[in-house]
A and B are shown apart, each in its own frame.
Chain A
Amino acid sequence: MAKRSAPEVNAGSMADIAFLLLIFFLVTTTIETDSGITRKLPPIDDSEEEPPILKERNIFIVLVNSSGDLFVEDEKMEFRDLRQAAIDFLDNGGGTGDEACDYCQGAKDPKSSDNPVKAVISLQNDRKTQYGRYIAVQNELVAAYNELRDREANRLYNMDFTEMEATFNDPEFLGDKDKLKERISVIKEMYPQKLSEAEPKK
């Protein structure tokens, strides 16, 4: 019998196959980043000390009850009016003397907040409130703060506050980080986010 050598398999197309696989994995791999509303919880306070008493007019009570209705300062409110109501409250600037606010553009109503630095929004909910509704309300309140901060940042530095924060967190940003940080903290001091999430009522 004649000895026959096995024919060599052509491996030329192997590279193509492997490339195909590689491209498939490259395309289907999505590195998804989550996003959401970042908040800070208050630490548990064990001390017996009485918390400082806030003036009634400096507190803005937002309540979402178990059926999802929205009550602002004990009055029912439509969801779409909430953002403007919160802005009006924060930006009121009704204080005089030491408590005056020279950058506020609000109505200066003596019954509403003295100064954005003192104004506190208290968000209350029932144990049966739906999470989705709570987040919607929370979102509107954060939006109110962001809108005011954007306004001041535009006035002082010609830049949106949200944009400033985004640039600051961008690792590829090569500009002056310290200056940006200072500017961010100036704006944050003008409108500090005092949003208290009370424990729910039974």
Chain B
Amino acid sequence: MSKFKKKDDGGTPAISTASLPDIVFMLLFFFMVVTVMRDTSLKVQNILPFADQVEKLDKKNLIMYIYAGKPSPRYQETFGTEARIQLNDKYASVNDVQQFIKEERLSKREELQDKLTTALKVDKETNMGLVSDIKQELRKAEALKINYTTKEGAAELNLE
């Protein structure tokens, strides 16, 4: 009997998977952090009209959103049913649009400031008077590139 027993070298040792959860969690956290949830909560009814001659709006950081429509049901008691403008998270009046555009411009890098597009997300039941007022304010603020955001579908669907 030898004192030093030879270890039996049967097969390769199993690879430790103990660090695998760490790696996966890292991936998970990465995706959780990078995923941007909708940053504005809508306070207005926002059923977009349909159109089929549309262009895609890429480059999300170059878009300013202006919402308009009737206040959502839970705000109707305090704000009535008259269509309103929503900028960021607050109701706003037409006069605030210019200031909003200025602030949005300043928050972007200088070389991108004249490439901004304004996306008008307007409920299809809104009167054109309000939309025209917004358009007029945008002209005054020299934000001339606009996009009427729509859902994709035949235009006839709007007539019902």
Cα distance, A59 to B78, chains bound together (Å): 46
Q: How many residues of B contact A (CB 8 A)?
A: 54
Q: Which residue of B lies closest to A64 (CB)?
A: B128
Residues from chain A with a CB closer than 8 A to the CB of B56 are 33-35, 169
Q: Counting CB contacts under 8 A, is A54 at the interface?
A: no
A35-B149 contact given A12-B17, A18-B28, CB 8 Å threshold: yes
Residues from chain A with a CB closer than 8 A to the CB of B24 are 15, 18-19, 22
Partner of B57, one of A36, A68, A142: A36
Q: Which of A36, A41, A136, A142 has the most CB of B within 10 A?
A: A36
Q: Which residue of B lies closest to A147 (CB)?
A: B53
Stretch of B93-101, B106-114, B138-146 contacting A (4+ beta carbons < 8 Å): B138-146
A127-B132 contact given A36-B149, A133-B159, A136-B155, CB 8 Å threshold: yes
Q: Which residue of A lies closest to B51 (CB)?
A: A139
Residues from chain B with a CB closer than 8 A to the CB of A80 are 156
Q: Which residue of B lies closest to A30 (CB)?
A: B35
Q: Counting CB contacts under 8 A, is B55 at the interface?
A: yes
Contact B28 A21 (CB under 8 A): yes
Residues from chain A with a CB closer than 8 A to the CB of B49 are 131-132, 135-136
Contact B144 A132 (CB under 8 A): no
Q: Which residue of B lies closest to A22 (CB)?
A: B28
Partner of B142, one of A12, A38, A43: A43
Q: Counting CB contacts under 8 A, is A110 at the interface?
A: no
Q: Counting CB contacts under 8 A, is B105 at the interface?
A: no
Stretch of B3-11, B84-92, B117-125 contacting A (4+ beta carbons < 8 Å): B117-125
Closest CB-CB distance, B10 to chain A, in whole Å?
Answer: 22
Q: Counting CB contacts under 8 A, is A40 at the interface?
A: yes
Residues from chain B with a CB closer than 8 A to the CB of A14 are 20-21
Contact B128 A142 (CB under 8 A): no
Closest CB-CB distance, B69 to chain A, in whole Å?
Answer: 9
Contact A38 B145 (CB under 8 A): yes
Contact A37 B31 (CB under 8 A): no
Residues from chain A with a CB closer than 8 A to the CB of B146 are 38-41
In the complex, 10 of the A-B residue pairs with CB atoms within 8 angstroms, ordered by the A residue number, are A22-B27, A22-B31, A34-B57, A36-B150, A37-B147, A39-B148, A41-B138, A128-B128, A135-B158, A169-B58
Which residues of B are interface residues toward A (Cβ below 8 A)?
Answer: 17-18, 20-21, 24-25, 27-28, 31-32, 35, 49-58, 60, 63, 117, 119, 121-129, 131-132, 135-136, 138-140, 142, 144-150, 152, 155-156, 158-159
Sort A-B residue pairs by CB-CB distance and give the 5 closest, nearest first.
Answer: A132-B124, A127-B129, A18-B24, A36-B149, A14-B21
A sample of 19 more A-B contacts (CB under 8 A), given A33-B58, A127-B132, A130-B128, is A12-B17, A18-B28, A29-B35, A35-B57, A36-B51, A36-B147, A36-B148, A37-B148, A38-B147, A43-B139, A44-B140, A80-B156, A127-B128, A131-B123, A132-B158, A132-B159, A139-B155, A169-B58, A200-B129
Which residues of A are interface residues toward B (Cβ below 8 A)?
Answer: 11-12, 14-15, 17-19, 21-22, 25-26, 29, 33-44, 68, 79-80, 125-136, 138-140, 142-143, 146, 165, 169, 197, 199-200
